[in-house]
Amino acid sequence: MVKDTSIPRHNFITRNQGLAITILVLALLPFVVGLFEGASPAQVWFNEGGTSKFIEGLAIEIFILAIFALSYDLLFGITGLLSLGHSMFFATGAYLTGILLKNFETPLGLTVLWVLGAAVINAIIFGLVLPRVKGITFALVTLGIASVFHIVIMSRELGELTGADVGLQRIPSPAFINPATERLRFYFLALAIMVFFFLVYKRFVSSPVGRVCVAIRENEGRALMLGYNTFVFKFAALTLSSITASVAGLIHALYQPIVSPNTAGLVYTIMALLVVLIGGVGTLNGALIGAAIYRLLDFGLRRYLGEMASFVNGTIYILIVLFLPYGIVGTWRLKSFDIRQGWKRLLEYFQKSK
Amino acid sequence: MKINLRKDLPRWLTLLGLLVFFVVAARGMETKDWVITLLRGLSVGSVTFLVASGFSLIFGLLDVLNMAHGTMFMIGAYISWTVYVRPDTFVDLLTPVLLLLSGFTLSAVWKRIARGLKQKANWLVILPWVGLIVGVAAMIYFLPRYPITIWDVGNYSQSPVTYSYLADQGLINLPPGLPFEEITPLAAVLGLLAASLLTAFGLTTFGARSQAAPPVSWKNLILFGLLTVTGVLTLVFNDPLTLFLTELNTTVLFAIALSVGVLAGVLLGSVMEATLIRPLYSRPIYQLMLTLGLSAIGIEVVRAIWGRPEFVMPKPSLFAGVGDGCPATSLADLWTNHCSTIMLFDGRIRVYNEIFIPLVGLIVLAGIWILLQRSRLGMIIRAGVQDREMVEALGINVQRVFNTVFAMGVGLAVLGGGLAAPSMGLSNAMGEALILNALIALAIGGLTNFPGAALGSLLVGLLQQVIIKYGAIGIPIPFTEIVFKPTPPLVPASTVLLMVFILLILPNGLLGKKE
C-alpha cells in the first residue's frame, strides 16, 4: 500500500510549527544580538554583552506582559467574562512575592506556593460574585473589588509592608536567577514559563472543559439548557486565569526591583485589554504577538518622541481599531486563505508566461 | 411606576437602609454641618449627574461605553476657561474655525457632484482624493501662518496659571493682537475657505458614492453663507469684538463661555459619532478601546495646549462679592451685594459651589426629563433604549437620532466641565476622577435608567461628603475609646464599596429593570 504523503502527520511538532520556530528564534536572539555588537556567544553566556543584556531585559518584560495578557484572553476572549479587576491578580502575585522575599525571607519555592494559594483565594473572591452579576455589571463589580484592593495597598497603615504610594522597593531576588547578574538564565526561565502557559492554554481550549467555556461565551443560556453547570466552568477558567496572572506578577516582582501600586490599578487591566485587542480576541497567540507589539511600540515611542508618546500611541490604537477589525491574528486568520489563493494565482501566472 | 412591595422587597429595603444611614450620619453632626454637607453633596452630585446622564443616554441608546466622556468634561472646562479668561484668543480662533467648518455644511452638494462624476467617467473618481490632498495641504500651509494671540505654556509669566491669577485679581492685561505678517488677511480667508471646501469634498464623497444623494436644500446654502460671513466679519471687527468681550460683565461673559463650550461640545460629539463611532456599531468591545484611545489623545492635547499645572478659573462677578454686607445673611442681601458666601444656620456657605451648581443640576434634570417624556425625540430615545431594532423597523432614521443623542451627551459633559471649573479648578486629571464617579453613580442607579442616574449621582455625592466630614469629626466606635477618622483615600473607596454592595443585592441597580 502506498503511503499518502499529502496529509501531514499530526504529531506535536508539526502542529506547533510556528511556536517551535518562535522558540528557536527567541533562544538564539541574545547570541545573534551579541554577534552584531561584537560579543562572542561565550561572552553573552556569561552576561557580558551590553546590548544583548538590554534586549534580554526588554524581552523579559514582553514575556511578563504576554503571560498576563494570555490570562486575560482566557477570561475575556475564551470564556467571555469582561473583568475590569484583572490587575488585582497580577498585583497580588507581585506584592506577595515582594513582601515574602523582603520581610520574611521565605525561600523561592515556598513563595511560589504562597502565590498560587493567594491566586486561588482571589479566584474564589471573584467567584463569589460570579453567579449574581453578568455582563457589564460583572465588569463594574470586579472593578470595584480591584479598586478597594488598590486603595488598601496604597493606604498608609500598611506602609511598612507595601510601601504605600511609592510601592515595594529593593526586593531581593534569589542569587541564582538575579536579573542583574544572571539575566540570560532569567530570560530562558521567563521564556519557558511563557511557553508552558501557552501550551497549557492551548490544551485547555481544546479540552472538553475549554469547549464548554467557548460555548458559554457564545450563548450562556444554551449551554445551561444543554445541562452544563456554567458556574463551574466559568470558575475553572477564572482560577486558571488568576493563577497565570499571579505567576506573571511573581516574575515581575523578581525581575523589577520595584513594584509600583499602579500594577493594581485600572491602567494595568486596560493594558491587558489593549494587548488582547491588538492581537485578536480569543486567539491565544494573538496575546503573545500583541504583547510584543505593545511593549516595543511603547518603548520605541517613549524613546524617540518623549512627551508625545501617549498621543501617538492613542492614534495608533484608533487606527488599529478602525482598520484591523479583529486584531492582527484574527484578521490574518480571516484573510490568510485569500492571500494564499492570491499567491497561487500569481505563481500560476508567472509559470504560464514562461 | 407600579409599587409592588412583595416583588420589590430587596429594592425597598436597600433604599430604606440608605435613608437610615444618611439620617444617622446627619444626627451625628451639628445642624450647620449637615446643611453644608448636604449642599456640598448636592453640588458634587450635580456635576457627576451632568456627566453621568449623558453617559447613560449614550450607553442606553447606542450601547457605547464612552470612556472618553471624562475627557470631554475636562475639555469643556478648558474651552470655557479660554473664552472666559482670554477672550482675545477666542475671537482670533473664531474666524479659522468657522471658515474650516463652512465647507462641511455643503455635504449634500458634494455627494451630488460625486455621483455626477461617477456617471461621466470612471477615472474622475480620483478627484475626491485630489481634493482631499490639496485641501489638507492648504490647511497645513495656511493654519500655522494665521496669527492667533495665545498664551505661552513654557513661559511662566505668560502661562495660563498667571493669566488666571491676574484675572482673579482684576489686573488682567491682554497682550496686543498679532498682525498678519507672512500672508495677507484676504489670502488667509480665501486659503482657509478653499482648504475647507476641498477637504469636505474629499471626505464626504468617499463613502457616499454608492448611496443616494440627499436633495440640496436652501438651508445648506444659507448655513454655508452664514458661517462664512460670520467668519469674515469676526476677522474685520476683531479688535472691537475683543474689547467688547473684555469689558463685559463677567457674569454675562461666563454665560457666553458656557454656551460656547456647549456648542463646541455638541459639534465635537456629532463629529466623533459620525466619523469614529459609527463604523464600530457591529463590534461593541472595540468601541471601548477606541474611546480609551481618544481619551488618551484628548489628555495629551490638553497638556500640549494648556500645560500640565493646575489652575483655577475666577468666579463670575455675581458670585464673587466680598465687600460690605458680606457674607450675606438673607436672600435680599445676597441679591444686592452679589456676595460669594451666605450665612445659613450659622454656617458659611459658598453661593456658587453649593447653591448655584445644584440649581443648574436641577434645571438640567428637569429639562432632560421633559425632553424625554414630552417630545417626539424623547419618545424615540425611550423606545430605542428598550428595543433599537423595532424602532428602526418602524421607519425612523435611527442614525440621526444616534448622532443627536451622542452630541447631546457630550454637550452635557462639557456643560458640567464649564460649571465645575470655577469650583474644582482645572487639571489634566479632572476627567478621570469624574468618569469613575459617574460610572459608580450609574451602576448604583441602574445603567440605562435616567432617574437612576440622578439618584446614583446624588448618593455618590452625599456619601463622599459625609465621609469627608467625618474625617474631621471622627466616628466614636461604641464600647471603646477609639475615634475612627476616615482618611482621604477612603472617600473613593466608600463609594466603590457602596456600588459593590448594591450590585450584589440588586444586580441591575436601584432603579434598573430586569433585562
pLDDT by residue (tens digit) across B4-51?
A: 667 778 888 888 888 988 888 888 777 788 888 888 899 999 999 999
- CA dist A82 and A75 (Å) reads 7
Q: pLDDT band at B285, cuts 50/70/90?
A: confident
Q: What is the mean pLDDT of residues A7-21?
A: 71
A318, B294: Cβ pair inside 8 Å? yes
Q: Examine residue A323 and state whether it is found in any structural domain, yes or no.
A: no
- pLDDT tens digits, B429-448: 888 888 888 988 988 888 88
Q: Which helix (H) or strand (E) holds B350?
A: strand B347-350
Of A144-148, A161-165, A288-292, the least confident: A161-165
- CA dist B408 and B57 (Å) reads 9
Q: Examine residue A56 and state whether it is found in any structural domain, yes or no.
A: yes
Q: B366 Cβ partners below 8 Å, 6+ apart? A: none
A317, B490: Cβ pair inside 8 Å? no
Q: What is the mean pLDDT of residues B151-176?
A: 78
Q: Taking CB atoms and an 8 Å cutoff, what residues of chain B touch A325?
A: 283, 286
Q: What is the mean pLDDT of residues A324-343?
A: 84
Q: Percent of chain A, pLDDT > 70?
A: 95
CB B108 within 8 A of CB B216: yes
Chain A touched by B435 (CB under 8 Å): no
Chain B touched by A174 (CB under 8 Å): no
Q: What is the mean pLDDT of residues A301-309?
A: 78
Q: pLDDT band at A292, cuts 50/70/90?
A: very high
**Residue A265 is part of which domain span?**
35-276
Alpha carbon of residue B134 to chain centroid: 34
Q: Examine residue A4 and state whether it is found in any structural domain, yes or no.
A: no
Q: Examine residue A58 and state whether it is found in any structural domain, yes or no.
A: yes
Please confirm whether the linkage preceding A107 is cis (ω < 30° from 0): no
- CA dist B51 and B372 (Å) reads 17
Test the A interface: residue of B275, B294, B496, B505 with most A CBs within 10 Å? B496
- CA dist B255 and B246 (Å) reads 14
Q: Percent of chain B, pLDDT > 70?
A: 95
Test the A interface: residue of B62, B285, B436 with most A CBs within 10 Å? B285
- In one-letter notation, the amino acid at residue B359 is L
Q: What is the ipTM of this complex?
A: 0.73
B504, A129: Cβ pair inside 8 Å? yes
Over 80: is that where the pLDDT of A175 sits? Answer: no
Alpha carbon of residue B192 to chain centroid: 28
Over 70: is that where the pLDDT of A319 sits? Answer: yes
Q: Taking CB atoms and an 8 Å cutoff, what residues of chain A touch B65?
A: 136
Over 80: is that where the pLDDT of A39 sits? Answer: no
Q: Which helix (H) or strand (E) holds B149?
A: none
The residue assigned the cell 479598586 is A147
Q: Which helix (H) or strand (E) holds B349?
A: strand B347-350
- pLDDT tens digits, A193-218: 999 999 999 999 989 999 999 999 88
- pLDDT tens digits, A220-260: 889 889 989 889 999 999 999 999 999 999 999 988 888 88
CB B173 within 8 A of CB B234: no
CB B69 within 8 A of CB B55: yes
B297, A133: Cβ pair inside 8 Å? no
Over 70: is that where the pLDDT of A282 sits? Answer: yes
Cell of B396: 425612523
Residue from the list B293, B447, B489 with its beta carbon closest to the beta carbon of A136: B447
From B506's Cα to the closest Cα of chain A, the distance in A is 9
Chain A touched by B10 (CB under 8 Å): no
Residue from the list A132, A136, A314 with its beta carbon closest to the beta carbon of B293: A314
Residue from the list A148, A307, A325 with its beta carbon closest to the beta carbon of B497: A148
Does residue B147 sit in helix, strand or coil? coil
Cell of A324: 484591523
Q: What is the pTM of this model?
A: 0.84
For residue B79, the model assigns a pLDDT of 92
Q: pLDDT band at A4, cuts 50/70/90?
A: low
CB A246 within 8 A of CB A116: yes
Q: Show the 3-state SS of A71-122.
A: HHHHHHHHCCCCCCCCHHHHHHHHHHHHHHHHHHCCCHHHHHHHHHHHHHHH
Q: Percent of chain B, pLDDT > 90?
A: 16
Q: Taking CB atoms and an 8 Å cutoff, what residues of chain A touch B503?
A: 132-133, 137, 140-141, 144
For residue B113, the model assigns a pLDDT of 78
Chain B touched by A311 (CB under 8 Å): yes
A155, B487: Cβ pair inside 8 Å? yes
Please name the residue of chain B whose CA is at the shortest distance from the CA of residue A143.
Answer: B496
Q: pLDDT band at A3, cuts 50/70/90?
A: low
Please name the residue of chain B whose CA is at the shortest distance from the CA of residue A271.
Answer: B289
- pLDDT tens digits, B82-105: 888 888 888 888 888 888 888 888
Q: What is the residue extent of each domain of chain B? A: 9-325+328-505
What integer best gives the mean pLDDT of chain B?
A: 83
Comparing B12 with B411, the larger pLDDT belongs to B411
Comparing B213 with A179, the larger pLDDT belongs to A179
Q: Examine residue A204 and state whether it is found in any structural domain, yes or no.
A: yes
Q: Examine residue A131 and state whether it is found in any structural domain, yes or no.
A: yes
What secondary structure does DSSP assign to A105-174, as a single string? ---HHHHHHHHHHHHHHHHHHHHHHTTT--HHHHHHHHHHHHHHHHHHHH-GGGHHHH-TTT-B--PPPP
Q: What is the mean pLDDT of residues A11-17?
A: 72
A317, B293: Cβ pair inside 8 Å? yes
For residue B271, the model assigns a pLDDT of 87
Does residue B311 sit in helix, strand or coil? strand
Q: Taking CB atoms and an 8 Å cutoff, what residues of chain A touch B500?
A: 129, 141, 144-145, 148
* Phi, psi dihedral angles at A82 (to 5 degrees): -85, 105
How many distinct structural domains can be found in chain A?
Answer: 1
For residue B211, the model assigns a pLDDT of 59
From A133's Cα to the closest Cα of chain B, the distance in A is 6
Residue from the list A140, A156, A318 with its beta carbon closest to the beta carbon of B503: A140
Over 90: is that where the pLDDT of B413 sits? Answer: yes
From A129's Cα to the closest Cα of chain B, the distance in A is 7
Task: Please choose, from the candidates B56, B69, B443, B66, the residue with its C-alpha nearest in 3D space to the C-alpha of residue B287.
Answer: B66
A318, B290: Cβ pair inside 8 Å? yes
Over 90: is that where the pLDDT of B414 sits? Answer: yes
> What would you report as the CA-atom Rg of chain A, rounded to the nearest whole angstrom?
22
Highest mean pLDDT among A116-120, A219-223, B62-66, B389-393: A116-120
HSE toward the beta carbon, residue B134, CA cutoff 13 A: 13
Chain A touched by B285 (CB under 8 Å): yes
Q: Examine residue A191 and state whether it is found in any structural domain, yes or no.
A: yes
For residue B213, the model assigns a pLDDT of 65
What integer best gives the mean pLDDT of chain A?
A: 85
- CA dist A310 and B251 (Å) reads 37
Q: What angle do CA B443, A241, A160 make, to 5 degrees?
A: 75
Q: Taking CB atoms and an 8 Å cutoff, what residues of chain B touch A318?
A: 276, 290, 293-294, 297
- pLDDT tens digits, A178-192: 777 788 888 889 999
- CA dist B158 and B95 (Å) reads 24
Chain A, residues 227-286, CB within 8 A of chain B, namely: 270, 273-274, 277, 281
Chain A touched by B357 (CB under 8 Å): no
Chain A touched by B447 (CB under 8 Å): yes
Q: pLDDT band at B3, cuts 50/70/90?
A: low
Angle, helices B87-102/B238-246, rounded to nearest 10 degrees: 130
Q: Taking CB atoms and an 8 Å cutoff, what residues of chain A touch B56?
A: none
Q: Taking CB atoms and an 8 Å cutoff, what residues of chain A touch B507?
A: 132-134, 137
Q: Examine residue A338 and state whether it is found in any structural domain, yes or no.
A: no
